[in-house]
């Protein structure tokens, strides 16, 4: 048992420290099993909506119970950090589009750095406390924990939406062996809105709150390996060459977006307004240099060039239709 301040007092200090580090919000939940989320995950996997992401089938116990990841875990501290920066993106189908979150420095590096600062502060504040930091680095259901901690609700497009900050943000968490005062979830405010469902270019949101990765542009341009994306799917990619922001762009809650205070998330000039024909000439060495410390490295050079070629085919087809 750690000798420390009362849980509520310590929780307030943790949240204040998180905000001082540049996080937009911080919420806390008890480290127990995500029973409802487990049921939804099992159904999603049974439908094959994970596509080729076979790792989603692994470590299911760890995905739904943080005590399987951190011995003695008692609390999950969730944080969000905005990556939204104004973007002078040309609306030209001959320009390759990269998802906004990948235009700056890799969030894994930035978020981990700040989460370690928070964890180190907690360990100094409460000697003997232990924990781990996570940013897409282990089987942790980050959106579920953030929703449980009251940082927002999971929208019909499956992204977390904050009533104060919209959805242009990253999520991270600390799993610690401290007793902290837990927050509660907030209400779902999507209501009857279906803008994200209606706007999805490939109809990947197969029903409210359920995304089929087989159809999703983000999955196909980032996670999928090989050149076998079905024609009817990659024709819906338009000029997206890494990720897709459509469902967030149309979400009315993003009128409350918070501009990022983190300069490392600012769009880098070499990654915006680049014609597809220029991207198509990118060599392996140029790819590595252009996307150093970037999430775009996830797709690898050959995957990136494949995406560009799909976009070029879509542009050619558009031209033919106009002739």
Which residues carry out catalysis? 136
How do strand 97-98 and strand 240-242 relate by DSSP bridges? Answer: parallel
User: Rounded CA gap, 181 and 176, in Å?
Assistant: 13
- Tell me 137's DSSP state: S
φ, ψ for residue 120, nearest 5 deg: -65, -40
End-to-end Cα, the chain, rounded Å? 74
Q: How many CB atoms lie within 10 A of CB 139?
A: 16
Q: Which of 34, 76, 35, 28 is nearest to 177 (CA)?
A: 76
How do strand 160-161 and strand 25-30 relate by DSSP bridges? Answer: unpaired
φ, ψ for residue 26, nearest 5 deg: -140, 135
DSSP-based three-state secondary structure for 29: strand
Q: Cα separations (Å) of 170 from 81, 207, 238, 292, 299?
A: 5, 24, 25, 19, 19
Instruction: Please classify residue 132 by burial: count the beta carbons closer than 10 Å to its beta carbon, then call 0-12 exposed, 13-18 middle and 19+ buried.
Output: middle
Residues forming a β-bridge with 154: 160
């Amino acid at each position: 048992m750690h000798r420390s301040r009362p849980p509520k007092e310590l929780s307030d200090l943790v949240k204040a420290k998180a905000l001082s580090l540049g996080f937009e919000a911080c919420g806390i939940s008890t480290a127990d099993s995500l029973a409802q989320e487990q049921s939804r995950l099992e159904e999603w996997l049974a439908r094959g909506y994970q596509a080729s992401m076979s790792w989603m089938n692994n470590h299911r116990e760890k995905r739904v119970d943080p005590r399987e990841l951190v011995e003695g875990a008692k609390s999950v501290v969730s944080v969000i950090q905005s990556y939204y920066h104004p973007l002078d993106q040309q609306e030209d189908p001959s320009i390759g589009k990269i998802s906004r979150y990948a235009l700056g420095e890799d969030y894994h590096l930035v978020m981990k750095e700040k989460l370690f600062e928070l964890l180190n502060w907690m360990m100094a504040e409460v000697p003997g406390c232990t924990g781990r930091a996570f940013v897409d680095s282990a089987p942790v259901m980050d959106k579920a924990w953030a929703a449980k901690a009251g940082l927002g609700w999971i929208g019909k497009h499956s992204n977390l939406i904050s009533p104060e900050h919209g959805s242009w943000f990253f999520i991270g968490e600390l799993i610690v062996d401290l007793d902290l005062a837990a927050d509660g979830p907030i209400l779902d405010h999507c209501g009857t809105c279906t803008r994200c469902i209606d706007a999805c270019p490939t109809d990947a949101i197969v029903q409210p709150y359920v995304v089929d990765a087989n159809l999703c542009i983000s999955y196909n341009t980032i996670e999928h390996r090989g050149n076998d994306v079905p024609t009817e799917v990659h024709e819906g990619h338009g000029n997206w060459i890494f990720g897709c922001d459509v469902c967030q762009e149309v979400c009315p809650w993003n009128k409350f977006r918070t501009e990022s205070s983190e300069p490392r998330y600012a769009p880098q000039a070499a990654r915006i307004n680049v014609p597809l024909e220029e991207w198509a000439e990118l060599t392996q060495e140029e790819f590595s240099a252009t996307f150093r410390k970037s999430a775009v490295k996830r797709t690898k050079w050959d995957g990136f060039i494949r995406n560009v070629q799909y976009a070029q085919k879509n542009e050619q087809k558009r031209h033919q239709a106009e002739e």
